[in-house]
Chain A
């Protein structure tokens, strides 16, 4: 009795302290809405059509500033991805100019990309990248895993069980469409734009996506919101290309382990029966 009461008392104090401290926390940005993603959950899969649309948005809009340097053209044909054929991936590679060399004259030169090449960077170096917006546009290769938002208690505990791993894409999709007029009294530096979800609200990139900017050939509505979702899904695939295999093998491993645990449990009971059971 005393023990239980003690534990409850301490726990109550602890929770109260946590809530109190949480309330006194620094100004936070708003939490992005949780969207539905086809790849979420234990049986999640990428939607090939969505990845291809997202890739289209990336090429037509984002690619001018944001690199994809860890992705190779041959990855576009990998299983669990956008579903291009090897020939299509090679063709896409050929549309890019890649730096190679030095040649026999000692000079670097440009040549069409091959399947083995990675996506070439949009700028030759960080200084050139910084010029236009006075900030370096981040590379997109792992950005879906490099962005997150505070979930707070008890969500961060529940997330472990619910398998919520889409912090990055929820944030990116919200950010890209989160441009608003700055509220009165907000000090927005020159060259910055007000964004509801960006930490600190002041971001260097102007609103990148507007309705009708990119043509969709499969009938999906050509809206800014849709572009955000599609490009975020594409970026999730770029960051986690083996997601489908991981979840599939995970299911097999879990079944195996649970069956194995069951067998071991009954074996243990049988073994211990010989010395009077228990323990």
Chain B
């Protein structure tokens, strides 16, 4: 077995260090495509592009469900009663404190756009059910109000908002 020199690194060792460094760099570079290939591919990203939803056909009090990036999106046309209900409560006392105003766009209080996935373990809550006039999740009993905020049950957080914007008064772009 050859003896490895125990002396301090000499100029002879420079080539070993260089070779080792280049080998390490090569290994890292080779790993990049292997890891990157698991990220969403171009067709998935394209299919996940923003979608436009026409709000015209949604009557007051009606909630529709569209899909974006494989996730259900609730779009609700709230009545004045539902908006008042959401604003009557002191939001600071809620399990996940958030005012209703922070969950809608300016001047568009009647439009509620939420990701319809229960923040507990991912089931889709049912609309117009539960004690708070909002959503009820049948899996473990979480209850959401007319602003989609968690009121009772095991869910830790309010129903999240997807990225969205109004391209006109009657059309919203999700994503």
| Chains A and B share a contact (CB less than 8 Å) | yes
Which residues in window 231-279 of A have CB below 8 A to B?
Answer: 256, 259-260, 263-264, 266-267, 270, 274-275
Are B47 and A260 in contact, with the CB atoms below 8 A?
Answer: no
- Assess the B16–A267 pair: CB atoms within 8 A: yes
Q: Is the CB of A260 within 8 A of B26?
A: yes
The interface residues of chain A lying within 8 Å CB-to-CB of B49 are 114-116
Binary contact readout B55-78 vs A (1 if CB under 8 angstroms, 0 otherwise): 000000000000000000000000
**A264-B19 CB under 8 A given contacts A114-B49, A256-B26, A274-B2:** yes
Interface residues of A in 184-213 (CB under 8 A from B): none
Q: Are B47 and A270 closer than 8 Å at their CB atoms?
A: no
Q: Is the CB of A263 within 8 A of B22?
A: yes
Whether B36 is near chain A, meaning CB under 8 Å from some CB there, is no
| B46/A260 in contact, CB under 8 A | no
Tell me, rounded to whole Å, the shortest Cβ–Cβ distance linking B12 to chain A. Answer: 6
Question: Within the assembled complex, what's the spacing in Å between the Cα atoms of A266 and B47?
Answer: 52
What is the predominant secondary structure among interface residues of chain B facing chain A? helix
- Cβ–Cβ contact B46 & A115, under 8 A: yes
Q: Hey, which chain A residues are within 8 Å of B22, CB to CB? A: 256, 259-260, 263
B2 touches A116 (CB 8 A): no
In chain A, what residue has the closest Cβ to B47? A116
B42 at the interface (CB under 8 A from A): yes
Query: Is residue B43 contacting chain A, with contact meaning CB distance below 8 A?
Result: yes
A72 interface hit (Cβ, 8 Å): yes
B139 / chain A contacts, CB cutoff of 8 Å: none
4 shortest interchain CB distances as A-B pairs = A116-B46, A263-B19, A74-B46, A267-B19
Given contacts A256-B22, A267-B15, 19 further A-B contacts (CB under 8 A): A72-B42, A72-B46, A74-B46, A75-B42, A115-B49, A116-B43, A116-B46, A116-B47, A116-B49, A259-B22, A263-B18, A263-B19, A263-B22, A266-B15, A267-B19, A270-B12, A270-B15, A270-B16, A275-B2
Q: How many A residues have CB within 8 A of the partner chain? A: 17
Q: Is B53 on the interface with A (CB-CB < 8 A)?
A: no
Q: CB-nearest residue of chain B relative to A74?
A: B46
9 chain-A/chain-B pairs, Cβ below 8 angstroms: A75-B42, A115-B49, A116-B46, A256-B22, A260-B23, A263-B22, A267-B19, A274-B2, A275-B2
In the complex, what residue of chain B is closest to A253 when comparing beta carbons? Answer: B29
Smallest distance from the beta carbon of B37 to chain A beta carbons, Å? 13
Q: Please, which residues of chain B bring their CB within 8 A of the CB of A267?
A: 15-16, 19
Residues on B with C-beta less than 8 A from A78 are 42
Which residues of B does A touch, CB under 8 Å? 2, 12, 15-16, 18-19, 22-23, 26, 29, 42-43, 46-47, 49
Contact in complex: A72, B12 (CB < 8 Å)? no
Closest approach, in angstroms, between the C-beta of A155 and any C-beta of chain B?
Answer: 33
CB-defined contacts of A274 to chain B, threshold 8 Å = 2
Nearest B residue (CB) for A273: B12
Inter-chain CA distance A78–B22, complex, in Å, is 32
Across the interface, which residues of A come within 8 angstroms of B47, CB to CB?
Answer: 116
A113 to chain B, nearest CB (A): 12
The answer for the CA separation of A248 and B89 in the assembled complex, in Å, is 61
Q: In whole angstroms, how far apart are the Cα atoms of A264 and B21 in the complex?
A: 12
Residues of B within 8 A of A115 (CB): 46, 49
* B-side contacts of A256, CB under 8 Å: 22, 26, 29
Distance between Cα atoms of A259 and B49 in the complex (Å): 43
Q: Give bound CA distance, A100 to B29, whole Å.
A: 42
How far is it, in angstroms, between the C-alpha of A94 and the C-alpha of B47 when the chains are bound?
Answer: 16
B68–chain A nearest beta-carbon distance, Å: 12
CA A266 to CA B14, docked complex, whole Å: 11
B13 to chain A: closest residue by CB: A270
Q: How far is the CA of A72 from the CA of B16 in the complex (A)?
A: 49
Chain B residues in 8 Å Cβ range of A275: 2
Residue of A nearest to B33 (CB): A249
